[in-house]
Amino acid sequence: QSPSASRKASASGLDIVKKTFNQQGVQGFWTGYSSEAIRQWTYGCARIGLHRVFSGKLAEAQGAPLELHQLVGCAALSGILAVPLQIPFDKIKIRQIKDTWHSGNSRYKNVFHGLSSLRACPEFGHDFRKVLPAAMVRTVVGNVAGIGTYDVLKQNVGPKLELSKTTSTLLFSVVASCCNTLCMAPLDSLRNRIIASPNRYTSITVAVVKIIREEGPLGFYRGASVTASANWIHNFTILNVCEIAGSMIDKASRNSK
């Protein structure tokens, strides 16, 4: 694909929304939903749950709140460990969306058919290694910018503000979600391109060089309106759900004693 063809084929987030709705209707926005749902149940739970375990155990062991570098370290480590669970589902989801976009039909009947097909595909291991660095950087940055920022605000700013727990949770999750969104937009572009076109973008370095050379720095933010909106909503929702669920579990544990 030539640079001119690549630019011509590129579309803004609004173009994608319009084309998806015109060709597939409202249900088109849920293409690949099964892959995304199971992805969040595995990778999503791992990256957030492991961070809570690591930070909680470390704070308990030292008997004091965590320092900034400790919170960042816990967020980064949990992100690294969760990444291998992310890639297969991202591969299936992006292929489902790409196939439906171009031909109207996906090569996978569902996420389980996709997993079975990937397991039998000799190229998947090679493709996995190609996208792993980009996925690793993306998730580490996302965890630090999203969960890490929230914990820092909750621990260091929360006690200084005369706000209810609900208000402070909403406020801090808004700020953390904005940090997450700003940091992850270019990294999402890198990862998605490598997954969708592994023969064209053979590594994270090649992808960076080609995007800058053919599209300029703004190429990293092509379609960012869609991914940024999704990341903001996802991060905001999951921070609040985790906080509410944690409070309910703590309350139930206290009442049972």
Q: What is the pLDDT of residues 43-76, one digit of tens each?
A: 888 998 899 999 999 999 999 989 999 999 999 9
Least confident of 14-23, 37-46, 228-237: 14-23
Q: What is the pLDDT of residues 61-115, one digit of tens each?
A: 999 989 999 999 999 999 999 999 988 988 888 888 777 767 767 788 788 888 8
> pTM higher than 0.85, yes or no?
no
Distance CA 201, CA 192 (A): 10
Distance CA 185, CA 225 (A): 9
H helices of 104-164, where?
A: 111-120, 124-143, 149-152
Q: Which positions ≥6 away from 1 have C-beta within 8 Å?
A: 9, 200
Distance CA 196, CA 207 (A): 12
